[in-house]
Amino acid sequence: MNAGRIFGPGVAGSWDDAKVSCPVVLVEDGRYRMWYYGRDREFPGNPGPGSPFGRTGLAESADGLHWERVPGPGYRGSVLDPSEDPDRFDSAFLGGSSIVRTDHGYRLYYLGARRQPLGERGSDLDVVISIGLAESPDGLRFRKIDGEAGRGAVLSPAMPGGWGEHSTNLPRVLRLSDGSWRMYYHGADEPGRAAIGVAESGDGVIWEKRGKVFEPSGDPTRFDARSVSTRHVIPWQGGWLMAYEALPAEPGVAFSIGLATSLDGLRWERLHGRGERGAAVARGEAGSWDEMAIGTPYLLAMPDNSLRLYYVGFSGQIETAIGLALCDGQDLTRWDKYETA
């Protein structure tokens, strides 16, 4: 029942002893580094049942399968914590979701939430989620960079009535071959129905939204009929490959993960996977650690052209852990969850 599971919550008293989620993996000099977010059991203010949002931390591995936490300078060993200033965009909780290597170190793009009175900005939600940036020389000690999108964010939700008014969420950032920057994120114009958008930048700090590039299929027979949200895009065979989490049409059914391909990273074609309703990777069978839902996909292309897909899984007890699925790179419709020894 543990197929795929490679990393769980930390020991009692650590910053992540309640939840872990959203793996972001880099390979440097043969060693794997994974930034992820999570929360401890005493984290103030619950943003929702089972929510893993809270802080960000770091783990390392020799093989990308067996991980050891790296204590950071933040709260109980984290590397990035919510702001103590209640007026900042990231004062309630945060979560790192993209890391980019630069000539001077690392850029971490992260979601941040600020609590708001109901009705502010015309919303019936008590938090507003924006996107922020932090920089580090070593991937461990981060300094937040103030953006120009309001309250320190680099990208904020649309104004009431615009697409993405409820949130601008979970950035995944790429440095393109011409030196420009591209950010994939998701937003919602109504609760429970998200789409994927793109923003572009010349410097990775000041961003301009370009609108939606990938929407729910609307096909009631598919796993992605109602909502498409957290995603990861990588260069692949002269084009682009995207893994994304999605929801089917009927309420009460949880996330699965699908794939899409593109020649330019803007116009996408869905791949019909072998999983339930066309998913590439589906939640586990009853009683497994990821029986309830899987999401926050992160793709890693290996030297032999195979692929790894890191993801978060939720159990029926709303417990979370990080898992891994594998593909030979030849048949993108066939994924097998890693079998732990």
- Collect contacts of 335-340 with beta carbons under 8 A, ≥24 apart: 335/273, 335/274, 335/275, 335/280, 335/281, 335/309, 337/3, 337/4, 337/281, 337/284, 338/3, 338/4, 338/6, 338/65, 339/3, 340/2, 340/3, 340/5, 340/6
Mean model confidence pLDDT for the chain: 93
Structure tokens at 28: 């440097």
Which pLDDT does position 341 carry in this prediction?
64
Band (164; pLDDT cuts 50, 70, 90): confident
Q: What is the mean pLDDT of residues 211-234?
A: 97
Distance CA 298, CA 310 (A): 5
Q: What is the mean pLDDT of residues 272-299?
A: 95
Distance CA 285, CA 238 (A): 36
Q: Per residue in 225-239, pLDDT tens?
A: 999 999 999 999 999
Q: What is the mean pLDDT of residues 110-134?
A: 76
- List, in order of start, the domains of the chain with CATH numbers: 5-337 (2.115.10.20)
The closest alpha carbon to 98, from 148, 49, 35, 182, belongs to: 35
| pLDDT surpassing 90 at residue 160 | no
Which pLDDT does position 117 carry in this prediction?
63
Distance CA 42, CA 16 (A): 10
Which pLDDT does position 189 carry in this prediction?
75
Band (33; pLDDT cuts 50, 70, 90): very high
Q: Per residue in 184-195, pLDDT tens?
A: 999 987 777 899
